[in-house]
Amino acid sequence: MFGDTLVDITTTVAGIKLKNPTMLASGIMDEDAGSMQRIIDCDAGAIVTKSVGLTTRQGYPNPTVIELDHGILNAMGLPNPGIEHYGLELSLLKNSKTPIIGSIYGANTKEFIELGKKMEDYGSSALELNLSCPHAKGYGLEIGCDLPLVREITSSVKDNVSLPVFVKLSPNVTNIVEIATAAEDGNADAIVAINTVKGMKIDVELGKPILSNKVGGYSGKAIKPIGIRCVYELAKNLHIPIIGVGGITTGEDAIEYLMAGACAVQIGSGIYYRGLDIFKKVCGEIEQWMKVHEYKKLTELIGVAQV
Ligand SMILES: Cc1cc2nc3c(=O)[nH]c(=O)nc-3n(C[C@H](O)[C@H](O)[C@H](O)COP(=O)(O)O)c2cc1C
């Protein structure tokens, strides 16, 4: 809050009340309870876990992350300890007042159901189905581009857990609205957009791609216009809430997503640019902007730019 003008930056996503619209995006600082607690202490409105599968996955050999001028290119290959181990981590956060959203990936409907049930047992507030990893063969885009499968996975998880289900989508598709509509038809409670944008970096001295996986996912400042366009199109055509993610580093970036139609935002690579405090900083900047522009409630900003 600034001066004596009070602004309300709370928001609600699929019935989950958030003290502010910022969430930690999946995959950054969320592999264990200790790092997630640090982000909670930095005032994130919610935490999304690293995407977790049924068994331990090592991920790809190095190099897996490259810092570029305007973003970050990564092909981690979904390294994670597996759902059983993850239960231990989440049990350490079970008294947290900050909602924890369990991100899961699987090869088929059965795996998603099993993972969803575990995340529910571990006390997650919601599930995020990662149907959009650009570099994990068999677990990402192959699933997220198959409309009947997106619908089936979403509805089967919904039928088997009682948590809100968010579906995270990729921008690496011809028509993101079509895929989101399949998720909505499967009773998804919200859409998360976007995952990283497929990219590659070549070492010109060696004459070969730098990442061990060759292709990676691009994130950070450079992808914001892509995320904004996706959120705008999704909010225009769907009836469920949209959570915006991609390139947010400032309060104004978050406001752009809200105006495009998002009801909350996620921040990942921004942590590399502005540190763990980015959640506090972005919230302070949103409050300041609202005060200057005479908005009292954050929810008044949602969809303002929908024309
Ligand atoms: C190093 C790294 C690891 C990531 N791992 C995951 C993941 O496990 N699951 C997922 O859904 N998204 C993952 N993402 C994508 C982010 O959650 C986010 O959608 C994307 O980076 C765009 O947001 P940003 O520009 O704020 O980073 C990862 C991104 C990065 C940079």
Asked whether the predicted pLDDT for residue 35 surpasses 80, the reply is yes
Question: CA separation (Å) from 36 to 28, 47, 298?
Answer: 9, 7, 25
> Is 42 a residue of the active site?
no
User: Which of 23, 24, 26 should be mutated for ligand 1, with most atoms under 8 A from CB?
Assistant: 26
Closest-lying ligand 1 atom to the alpha carbon of residue 223 = 25
CA–CA distance, 151 with 307 (Å, rounded to integer)? 29
Q: Could you tell me which of 250, 244, 252 has the C-alpha nearest to residue 293?
A: 252
pTM for this entry: 0.97
- Per-residue pLDDT at 174 exceeds 50: yes
Three-state DSSP at 238 gives coil
What pLDDT was estimated at residue 130? 96
Q: What pLDDT, on a 0 to 100 scale, did the predictor assign at position 4?
A: 57
- Which of these, 185, 191, 193, lies nearest to 230 by C-alpha position? 193
- Residue 15 confidence class, pLDDT cut points 50, 70, 90: very high
What pLDDT does 242 receive?
98
Tell me, what's the pLDDT at 121?
97
Tokens at residue 28, please?
């950054």
Q: According to the model, what pLDDT value does residue 1 have?
A: 45
Confidence grade of residue 110 (pLDDT, cut at 50, 70, 90): very high
Q: What is the CATH number of domain 11-301?
A: 3.20.20.70
| Whether the bond into 164 is cis, omega within 30 of 0 | no
What are the φ/ψ torsions at residue 58 (nearest 5 degrees)?
-75, -30
Q: Which of 191, 269, 272 to mutate to test the pocket of ligand 1 (most atoms within 8 A of CB)?
A: 269
User: Residue 90 pLDDT more than 50?
Assistant: yes
pLDDT in tens, 289-298: 999 999 999 9
Question: Domain-by-domain residue ranges, the chain?
Answer: 11-301
